[in-house]
Copies of this chain bind each other. A is one copy, B any other.
Amino acid sequence: MTSDLQVLPARRGQAVRLAKGQAIQIINTHGQQVVDTWCFNADDLSEFMSMEHLHAALQGIFPAKGDALTTNRRRPILILEEDTSPGRHDTVIAACDVHRYASLGCTEYHDNCTDNLHAALGQLHLRAADCPAPLNLWMNIPVGPDGKITWGEPLSKPGDHVVLRAVIDCIVVMSACPQDMIPINGAACQPTEVHYRLLD
């Protein structure tokens, strides 16, 4: 069974429960939108998808189609079952937050992925102790041989999608990144909505 297509509005977050074996398809509708993504064990939020543990499991920083995405207890929580994009998803950069926008010169509140995570979990009456490092879908952060990173524009195209399948009962949280001060969501610096659906 496939659910209806759902919209994740620009700049907003959403938490979705997945039962073991279910999957979520996340669609980069306009092709240039980064989606910060987290995943928590539904029975124990202190276990979550962890980028630093994933790096050791993958022996690399870029997850690819077929890879298991692991938790801070080093077991798979999601499988990256499909990926129609060139596969550049960032795993080394933190979610944006109020401090990030302040450092970029923002003097008023700016929507941000960290607050979106906590708000989305709050909608399910849940609370995470912290904001884990996210899987930043479509965020293009090349790492040079000297270790320097580049804030690239997404390599994805409209309609590219990933499918993440749950290995255990879990909660996936997405944030359509509100970054509009650097071109991480494309040269236009214009965050957009994305879409998602649940797959059995």
Q: Does A3 contact B (CB under 8 A)?
A: no
Task: Select A50's contact among B61, B94, B129, B143, beta carbons within 8 Å.
Answer: B94
Residues in B neighbouring A108, C-beta threshold 8 A: none
Q: Provide the A45-63 mask, 1 if CB < 8 A to any CB of B, else 0.
A: 0100011110110011110
Q: Is the interface of A mostly helix, strand, loop or mixed?
A: loop
- A sample of 27 cross-chain residue pairs with beta-carbon separation below 8 angstroms, ordered by A number, consists of A46-B129, A46-B130, A52-B92, A52-B93, A52-B94, A52-B133, A55-B92, A55-B93, A55-B94, A55-B149, A56-B100, A59-B149, A60-B146, A60-B149, A61-B92, A61-B143, A61-B149, A62-B147, A72-B94, A72-B130, A72-B131, A73-B97, A73-B99, A74-B97, A129-B130, A143-B143, A143-B147
Residues of A that sit less than 8 Å from B by CB: 46, 50-53, 55-56, 59-62, 72-75, 92-94, 97, 99-100, 103, 129-131, 133, 143, 145-149, 151
